[in-house]
Structure 1
Amino acid sequence: MDNYFDIQLTDDQLRSISSIGLAHVGDAVFELLVRTWLCAHGKATGKGLHQATIRLVCAESQAEKAERILPLLTEEETAVFKRGRNAQVHSVPGHASRAQYGEATALEALLGWLWLKGRKDRVNELFCAMMEEAV
């Protein structure tokens, strides 16, 4: 593999990655999109930018955004989402319920899966749907 900015893994390669691994990538993808969105919309500057990012990437916010896009998911995407939600996480942050953390992990797994599949267009489409009311 030579280009990690434009990665496209095969279905077999994607299946070999754990749900936690997909969520690990998806977490980074989501945070990068949120940071970009905040800068592009002039929502915060300086110290406020970090706080605004934290508010949008926390498990509670991600769970809310996941619920917003569930009706938009294809059958295959829904299967990946459910796989992520059922991932065996060993600790849940004190500010989120186990259910919220499961939904957040599912969202991250889906975004990681789409990203590694090379579906940046679909990642963007779902992200825009998540952020619609935030404008």
Structure 2
Amino acid sequence: MEESIIKSDSHIEGISKDNLTYDIWKSLGLKEVSPRQLSPLVLAYIGDSIFDLVVKTMIVTKGNTQVNKMNRMASSIVKAESQSKMIGYIEDKLSEEEEGVYKRGRNAKSYTSAKNASISDYRRATGFEALMGYLYMSGRYERMCELIKDALDYLESEKSDK
């Protein structure tokens, strides 16, 4: 039987102990979890949060402004339609492993429905979030941020072309 949760005194191979994810696990006395053993929807769940955090961090560092304005800016980026466009742009840049994670997330049977997005955009966004969750849980922040930056640069250029 394969165990999905590994005790905190053992370390998951391939995950650096020098990262935020590990610090959270250790500081709170949590068990380490291998991202390879998490379902695509669980990866999307954490990926949604980490992507939101990265976007909000970028917005906050641009300077003080009204919080509702910052929230509108963040919402326009983290919505399914934008995430679908972003994954469409970066998909060719993904490694085989990353593409597999994205496709598992995209194809996962979700029990929630798209609120303000097409089913296609929603599924692609779920795949994008699963990939972000996987990279975060793997401690691969540099790669995660590289992909996010490329995708956001693309969104910005698309917006300025209109």
TM-score (ref. length: structure 1): 0.87
Q: Distance in 1 between matches of 2:134 and 2:70?
A: 27
Output aligned runs, 1:2-17, within 5 Å: 5-7=20-22, 13-17=34-38
What SS does structure 1 have at the residue aligned with 2:113?
coil
Q: Deviations over 1:25-52 (max 9, x none)?
A: 1001100111011122349532111111
Q: Distance in 2 between matches of 1:69 and 1:38?
A: 21
Gaps of 5+ in 1: none
State the AA in 1 paired with 2:148.
F
State the AA in 2 paired with 1:6.
T
Q: Distance in 1 between matches of 2:85 and 2:97?
A: 21
Q: Distance in 1 between matches of 2:38 and 2:73?
A: 31
Equivalent residue, structure 2, for 1:82: 103
Tell me which of 48, 55, 61 is aligned to 2:82.
61
Q: Distance in 2 between matches of 1:106 and 1:44?
A: 32
Give yes or no for the alignment of 1:100 onto 2:121.
Answer: yes
**Does the CA contact (< 8 Å) of 2:20 and 2:139 recur in 1?**
no
Q: Deviations over 1:31-82 (max 9, x none)?
A: 0111011122349532111111111111111111111110110011001100
Give yes or no for the alignment of 1:32 onto 2:53.
Answer: yes
Count how many residue pairs are aligned between Structure 1 and Structure 2: 133
Gaps of 5+ in 2: 1-7, 10-16, 24-32, 158-162
What SS does structure 2 have at the residue aligned with 1:101?
helix
What SS does structure 2 have at the residue aligned with 1:6?
helix
TM-score (ref. length: structure 2): 0.74
State the AA in 2 paired with 1:49.
M
Asked which structure has the greater CA Rg, the reply is: 2
Root-mean-square deviation over aligned CA pairs: 2.5
**Does the CA contact (< 8 Å) of 2:34 and 2:137 recur in 1?**
no
**Does the CA contact (< 8 Å) of 1:38 and 1:44 recur in 2?**
no
Q: Distance in 2 between matches of 1:121 and 1:94?
A: 31
